[in-house]
Amino acid sequence: MIRVQAVAPDSLGAALGLIPGAELLAVNDRALEDFLDWEFLTADDAFVLRARLPAGEEVEYDVERPEGLPMGVTLEAPRIRRCANHCDFCFVDGNPEGLRQALYIRDDDYRLSFRYGNFATLTNLKPWDLARIVEYRMSPLYVSVHATDPVVRRFLLRNPEAEAIVPQLTWFAERGITFHTQVVLVPGVNDGAQLVRTLSDLYGIGAAVLSVSVVPVALTEFSKRDLVREPTREECRAALATVAEVAQRALAERGAPWCYGADDLYLQADEELPPAEWYGEFEQRENGVGSVRYLQTRIAAARERLGAGGAGGAGGDWRGKRIGVVTGTAMGALMPQVVTGLAVATGARFEILALENTLFGPSVTTAGLLPGGALLAALRERRDLDLVLLPAESVNDDLVFMDDVDAHALAAQLPMPIKLSYDFADALVDEEVAV
């Protein structure tokens, strides 16, 4: 059963008489378990919906749905599938106290993997889930593989029950499911010969494995540092050499590199990032793979709207303005490459503010995990800045930072306007994204 949270006015759902609190029970006599059932089973032109209204009345609707017309029904948030693993490097263990409640949940949910690109391990699938993934053709899924040797993978996941991943992915591949995969690199465990084996095994599954990324493990001050450590520069270089070897083979045989190092891996190895063309469609950019080149590409594409050379584009005249760009320390060293193009396009002067994470500790370097408190401390006395761009991924849908600081409350305490931005060009062209 799933429950309606809201119904858009003038929608099909409203015309049927669905209201918030109504329980959606079944479509064509198939019980509805979650949002996926709802989306897939109501995709047809005609179906029978059984629902229970908040007053308790059970209603059956014969629905005829003109093509493309949305139901206009927002469902209550799904119950997230909990993780069955206990990885030493788990980010949840790395969280200090006092964060948003949701950050203490170890989620491992193939439905969110399909829908939002969250990585899942597939270690908590029931037979019913397997059938469903195949029936609904849930592709691509984003899968944390880490290692294909079953013993090593079970060790990394701290889960003796974890199924062998290669047979599992192969079973899905034979049924038409595709995957983007990742290997979180844990030195001394899944690097070296294990990494070679993992990449080779994944490549051997064939075209169903669309890509694999190798991401250096990220730890915080609160992580189990007695059990796991970050890779050294030499270990990152060795991993990149393995990645390059496999990528060259894939390029020759399949026409795309297929295997990518995360930007962070290049940064920690002190090696130059590949050019933008290397990343194709930037399919793992949300995973920090090709993010720098992606930003550069976006800025170049928006150049005209930014006012090319400072003539004042759609978002206003930025010439001579002083604009702060907040990021985490990971991107701090890479950001000048990105911002140079932005300065040329807008005529503004940019200052990169690579902030240390005051909540998780200095080893957490990604911009998306910056707490509101760190931003406030860094910006509240900065009266010399005309505007500050904040990483949009550091707030949730309610515009709240990791440490429960509200973006509007933050804006009210700062001497300059702030804007949330994914790629800088969005904030400088579009006035709508101001906080």
- Is residue 325 within a helix (H) or strand (E), and if so which, with residue range? strand 322-328
Which residue spans within 29-104 are E strands per DSSP? 30-31, 46-52, 58-64, 73-75
Q: Does 369 bind ligand SF4 (CB under 6 A)?
A: no
How far apart CA 416 and CA 353 sit, in angstroms, is 15
Q: Could you tell me how many residues make up the chain?
A: 435
26 lines the binding site for ligand SF4 (CB under 6 A) = no
Distant-in-sequence, close-in-space partners of 282: CB < 8 Å, separation ≥ 6: 289, 290, 293, 294, 297
Phi, psi of 46 (to 5 degrees): -140, 135
- Shortest distance in whole angstroms from residue 90 CB to ligand SF4: 3
- Provide, rounded to whole angstroms, the least separation between the CB of residue 80 and ligand SF4: 11
Applying CB under 6 A, which of residues 95, 113, 118, 121 lies at the interface with ligand SF4?
121
In angstroms, the Cα distances linking 423 to 88, 401, 419 are: 33, 18, 11
Question: Least distance to ligand SF4 from the beta carbon of 83, Å?
Answer: 3
Asked if 85 is part of the footprint of ligand SF4 (rule: CB under 6 A), the reply reads: yes
First to last CA, the chain: 37
Residue 113 Cβ vs ligand SF4, minimum distance, rounded to whole Å? 12
Q: Which helix (H) or strand (E) holds 216?
A: strand 209-216
- Nearest approach in angstroms of CB 20 to ligand SF4 is 32
At residue 397, the 3 state secondary structure works out as coil
Closest distance to ligand SF4 from the beta carbon of 119 (Å): 8
- When asked if residue 198 is in the footprint of ligand SF4 (CB under 6 A), the reply is no
90 binds ligand SF4 (CB under 6 A): yes
Per-residue tokens: 364: 């957490």
Cα 231 to Cα 4, 85, 100, 223, 239, distances in angstroms: 47, 22, 29, 15, 10
Of the candidate residues 13, 22, 25, 108, the single one contacting ligand SF4 (CB under 6 A): 108
Q: Which is nearer to ligand SF4, 86 or 224 (CB)?
A: 86
Residue 243, helix vs strand vs coil: helix
Closer CB to ligand SF4, residue 92 or residue 416? 92
Q: Which of 14, 92, 152, 433 binds ligand SF4 (CB under 6 A)?
A: 92
Interaction between residue 296 and ligand SF4 (CB under 6 A)? no
Nearest CA among 138, 144, 99 for reference residue 121: 144
CB atoms within 10 A of CB 128: 9
The span from the CA of 194 to the CA of 202, in Å, is 12
Q: Segment contacting ligand SF4 (CB under 6 A): 80-88, 308-316, 405-413, 425-433?
A: 80-88
Answer yes or no whether residue 106 interacts with ligand SF4 by CB under 6 A. Answer: yes
CB of 143 to ligand SF4, least distance (A): 11
Closer residue to ligand SF4 in complex, CB, 144/394: 144
Interaction mask 149-168, ligand SF4, x per CB under 6 A: --------x-----------
C-beta of 219 vs 387, nearer to ligand SF4: 219
For ligand SF4, which is the closer residue by CB, 106 or 322? 106
β pairing state of 179-185 and 209-216 = parallel
Cβ at position 218, least distance to ligand SF4 in Å? 10
- Contact between 249 and ligand SF4 by CB under 6 A: the answer reads no
Q: Which is nearer to ligand SF4, 124 or 357 (CB)?
A: 124
Closest to 157 measured CA to CA, from 225, 259, 240, 228: 228
Nearer to ligand SF4, 157 or 259 (CB): 157
Give strand pairing partners of 352: 325
Residues 201-220 that bind ligand SF4 (CB under 6 A): none
Task: Please tell me the distance from the alpha carbon of residue 331 to that of residue 311, in angstroms, as a whole number.
Answer: 29
Report in angstroms how near the CB of residue 91 gets to ligand SF4 at its nearest.
Answer: 6
Angle of CA points 375, 378, 380, to nearest 5°: 90
Q: For 426, which DSSP code?
A: H
Q: Give the nearer residue to ligand SF4 in terms of CB position, either 113 or 394.
A: 113
Does 308 interact with ligand SF4 (rule: CB under 6 A)?
Answer: no
Q: Does 109 engage in binding with ligand SF4 (CB under 6 A)?
A: no
Indicate whether 87 belongs to the interface with ligand SF4 (CB under 6 A): yes
Nearer to ligand SF4, 106 or 382 (CB): 106
CA distances from 150 to 57, 171, 297 (A): 51, 16, 39
The residues binding ligand SF4 (CB under 6 A) are 83, 85-87, 90, 92, 106, 108, 121, 157
